[in-house]
Amino acid sequence: MSIENARIVTPKIRKRRNNLIAYSFIAPNFIGFAIFTLVPIVMAVTLSFMKWNGSGVQAPRFVGLDNYTHLLRDGRFIEAFFNTIVYTAATVPLTMIFALLLAVILNQKIFARNFFRTISFFPYVASLVAVAAVWNALFSPEKGPVNSVLRALGVANPPGWAVDPNWAMVTLILFSVWKNMGYYMVMYLAGLQGISPELYEAASLDGANAAQKFRYVTIPQLGATNFLVLVMLTIQCFKVYDIVLMITNAGPGTKTLVLVFHIYNVAFKQWDLGYASAISMVLFLMVMIVTVIQFRGEKKTA
């Protein structure tokens, strides 16, 4: 003890030492994070004003806003943009409705509740490549079981699903809802369990029936959860790529081309990195707008 005390540790030295200790905790993660995330983000912004094919020989050339003005003339981009919006506008509400329906049912005291909760989560954790292969087989236009059932039920010309220009987007949306509703079901379940039982008791005393309780207790009480699910789902839909690749491959033609698919093609097939980055900025902006809305909304509810 006395030896320790003999060494004078001024507050300043202690502070510096504490700083160093703290940095040593953060460094392993932060260095990796800075190199592999922060630097590429800055590069993406810079590249969107350049023309470059990524080769080490040819240097990037500054082209100002050319990449951005090109966006307006690129029919593919405009199509990809609208397809992404259509996909999002349909997938988000459908997923929310089914996830909520499932959560409400699985929040009741029912037979084998945990079993049902578990299986409704299977599609979400299952590998996309595997379940997409099954879907493609099930919805195969000529011999798939889905169309076989439809024909047996008397539908003369069942849709061609993923290869049918009018149905490809529908197929994509159906698959997406099926794959992801389990995840949001869990979020709704958490929200439902947060509602005080007293509210339902009070409603019962006032003579409310099940539908009225759902309308006047459950829905308002789930406000925050609803909002969060909406935001998360919307962002997830904006970023869609792998589902599209595996179910429709952006086809038929470009009927289901989405933004990230277009970024991938422009970057890794045409090697037009500057233009790919400009499209990326559009995606970034879309996600940013949703995030800002979320921040505003959270402040309001807080």
The residues in 123-162 that bind other proteins, with binding defined as CB under 8 A, are 123, 125-131, 133-135, 137-138, 140, 143-145, 148, 152
Shortest distance (Å) from residue 20 CB to other proteins: 9
Q: Are 153 and 160 in contact (CB under 8 A)?
A: no
Residue 226 sits in the site that holds other proteins (CB under 8 A): no
Rounded Cα–Cα distance for residues 155 and 142 (Å): 13
Rounded Cα–Cα distance for residues 131 and 174 (Å): 13
Dihedrals phi, psi of 50, to nearest 5 degrees: -120, 165
Rounded Cα–Cα distance for residues 175 and 156 (Å): 24
Q: Are 228 and 298 in contact (CB under 8 A)?
A: no
Residue list 233-292, contact with other proteins (CB under 8 A)? 235, 238-239, 241-242, 245-246, 260, 263-264, 267-268, 273, 276-277, 280-281, 283-284, 287-288, 291
Out of 58, 166, 196, 204, the residue judged to bind other proteins by CB under 8 A: 204
Please list, in sequence order, all residues whose beta carbon lies within 8 angstroms of the beta carbon of residue 170, skipping any fewer than 6 positions away.
159, 161
Q: How many CB atoms lie within 10 A of CB 279?
A: 28
Residue list 91-110, contact with other proteins (CB under 8 A)? 98, 101-102, 105-106, 108-110
Region from 70-78, 83-91, 158-166, 186-194 binding other proteins, contact rule CB under 8 A: 186-194
Residue type, 182: G
Shortest distance (Å) from residue 254 CB to other proteins: 19
Number of residues that bind other proteins (CB under 8 A): 96
Out of 6, 7, 28, 64, the residue judged to bind other proteins by CB under 8 A: 28
Out of 9, 13, 30, 219, the residue judged to bind other proteins by CB under 8 A: 30
Residue type, 4: E
